[in-house]
């Protein structure tokens, strides 16, 4: 799921200029209209524009923000939100989960929460990992980082759910984080509870430098 996904593609300048056809619209809105006629209903393009020099949708990002939703026994389970909220059959202590989550924030080697890729760095800056219980009782996690590795968010959530159930102490996730390999005790949470809400980019003149920095291998603090 994504509400704030950003992508880029390479187009021939002539193809871009010809998108409006005989209309007086700009190429960007014309492309959005054309895509709306062929894409399935669960994909919506909201805006299209020429990207500034140095832009890379993946590597130029400063941060991404995800939200993960869990409806435990204390929540009002809305069947219309079954596709973006995980239903949990046990009560969860949101305060304990929030405390455990916040202990993971910072520049870290997050190998314990990632599916390994040969040669890829697992050092990330986790900017925010926090939980709140919404008005309807749903527990919502906000997870922000400069970059993510595969299944990282769902693994982070999976590391604090046992804390919320009372099966693990609040320092258990931070103890797992000390590992330099995938932690076998972490349950990867279901994908449908996760949504990408926002991708943040620097000023245009800083895009190329940001891409280079993101690609560089980093060491934890």
Express each pLDDT in 136-169 by its tens digit.
999 999 999 999 999 999 999 999 999 999 999 9
Express each pLDDT in 98-128 by its tens digit.
999 999 999 999 999 998 887 788 999 999 9
**What stretch(es) of the chain map to CATH 3.30.70.660?**
63-200
The C-alpha atoms of residue 212 and residue 79 are separated, in whole angstroms, by 44
Which of left, alpha, beta for 168 (phi over 0: left; psi -120 to 50: alpha)? Answer: beta
Q: What is the CATH code for 63-200?
A: 3.30.70.660
- What are the E-state strand segments in the chain? 63-71, 86-87, 106-109, 123-133, 139-145, 194-200
- Taking the chain (221 residues) in runs of 10, the rounded mean pLDDT of each run is 94 95 95 96 96 94 98 94 96 98 96 86 95 97 96 97 98 94 92 98 95 77 58
190 CB-side CA count, 13 A? 12
Token pair belonging to 28: 């960007």
Identify the residue whose tokens are 């998108």: 19
């Amino acid at each position: 799921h994504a509400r704030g996904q950003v992508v880029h593609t390479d187009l021939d300048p002539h193809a871009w200029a010809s998108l409006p056809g005989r209309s007086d619209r700009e190429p960007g809105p014309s492309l959005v209209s054309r895509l709306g006629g062929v894409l399935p209903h669960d994909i919506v393009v909201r805006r299209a524009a020429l990207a500034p020099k140095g832009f890379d949708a993946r590597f130029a990002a400063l941060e991404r923000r995800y939200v993960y939703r869990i409806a435990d026994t204390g929540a009002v389970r809305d069947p219309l939100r079954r596709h973006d909220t995980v239903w949990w059959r046990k009560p969860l202590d949101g305060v304990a989960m929030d405390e455990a989550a916040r202990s993971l924030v910072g520049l870290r080697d997050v190998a314990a929460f990632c599916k390994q890729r040969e040669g890829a760095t697992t050092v990330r800056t986790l900017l925010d990992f926090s939980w709140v219980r919404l008005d309807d009782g749903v527990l919502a996690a906000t997870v922000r980082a400069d970059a993510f590795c595969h299944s990282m968010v769902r693994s982070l959530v999976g590391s604090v759910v046992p804390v919320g159930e009372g099966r693990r102490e609040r320092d258990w996730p931070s103890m797992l984080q000390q590992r330099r390999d995938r932690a076998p005790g972490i349950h990867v949470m279901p994908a449908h509870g996760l949504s990408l809400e926002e991708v943040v980019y620097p000023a245009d003149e800083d895009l190329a430098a940001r891409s280079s920095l993101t690609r560089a291998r980093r060491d934890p603090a």
